[in-house]
Amino acid sequence: MKKLLSVLAVLLLIAVFASPVFAGGQSEEKGKKLTIGVVIPYEGGWFTAFHAGYALVAEGQGHEIVWAYHNYSAEDEATAIQNLLARGVDAINVTSVSPESAEYSCRLANEEGVPIQITESGGFAKEGGGKPFADVDFNWFNVYHTVADGLRKDVKGDLEVIWLQGFLGTPPVIQGIMGFEERIRSEEHTSELQSHSFISYAVFCLK
């Protein structure tokens, strides 16, 4: 699993380095060493693989990464983006706290003409005008449709679910809960029940 997550992170960073935005003037000079700002919540869990993947690609291509962290604070995310811009990075990748904070981070980078990519942020809010050159997001909604299908395949009858996943209120968790609940309560999965399944949410927070 850790190897798979590292591969996914590698692909994300390749998207940053290979992006056509650099052909627009940021880094036309072949072989130029790039400085990439990467903002993630923290190093741990899922983001351990992010960190390892980015570092692997950067080292292999001779580029530098400047790390910044926000611990799921929108204010700290904005500060991290501002600090990276002040440092003069060539591009930024950010895993945002929310679609709203993603839009603001994009707006800050857009104003400075620095390419920015958002990852695992639930998209970005359309109001405000900030836009990334790439928005990379897993479809957690459909992923948890599959989880619900697998659970119902193995467990028949009335169902009570304890939910353990990430930080409550963050985009992947919100999408996962919505996708799972929609699917588990669908007619296909409730027609065999006398009543709807009861779902309670418990969230494990990694700090």
For 105-148, how does the pLDDT look when each residue is reduced to its tens digit (9 = 90+)? 999 999 999 999 998 777 666 777 898 998 887 777 788 888 88
Interval 26-39 mean pLDDT:
76
Interval 60-65 mean pLDDT:
92
Cα distances from 22 to residues 82, 98, 191, in angstroms, run 20, 26, 54
How many whole angstroms separate alpha carbon 124 and alpha carbon 129? Answer: 10
Q: Which residues share a beta bridge with 69?
A: 40
Q: Sheet harboring 134-136: ordered strands across?
A: 64-69, 35-40, 91-94, 116-119, 134-136
Token pair for residue 166? 């990430």
Token pair for residue 152? 């119902």
Q: Which residues share a beta bridge with 90?
A: none
pLDDT of residue 206: 35
pLDDT of residue 30: 62
Report whether 99 contacts 124 (CB < 8 A): yes
Between residues 90 and 202, the one the model is more confident about: 90
How many whole angstroms separate alpha carbon 77 and alpha carbon 69? Answer: 7
User: Using N-to-C axis directions, what is the helix angle for 46-61 and 2-18, rounded to 10°?
Assistant: 50
Q: Which residues share a beta bridge with 66?
A: 37
Residue 174 has pLDDT above 90, yes or no: no
Residue 49 has pLDDT above 80, yes or no: yes
Which of 11-20, 98-107, 158-167 shows the lowest mean pLDDT across its residues?
11-20
Residue 77 has pLDDT above 90, yes or no: yes
pLDDT of residue 162: 77
For 122, left (φ over 0), alpha (ψ -120 to 50), or beta? left
| Confidence category of residue 205, pLDDT binned at 50, 70, 90 | very low
| Confidence category of residue 25, pLDDT binned at 50, 70, 90 | very low
The mean pLDDT value of the chain amounts to: 77
For residue 155, the tally of other CB atoms under 10 A from its CB is 11
Choose the most confident range, by mean pLDDT, from 64-78, 108-122, 152-166.
64-78
Integer distance in angstroms from the first to the last C-alpha of the chain? Answer: 21
What H or E segment, with its residue span, contains residue 83? helix 74-87
Report whether 90 contacts 96 (CB < 8 A): no
How many whole angstroms separate alpha carbon 80 and alpha carbon 98? Answer: 15
Residue 97 has pLDDT above 80, yes or no: yes
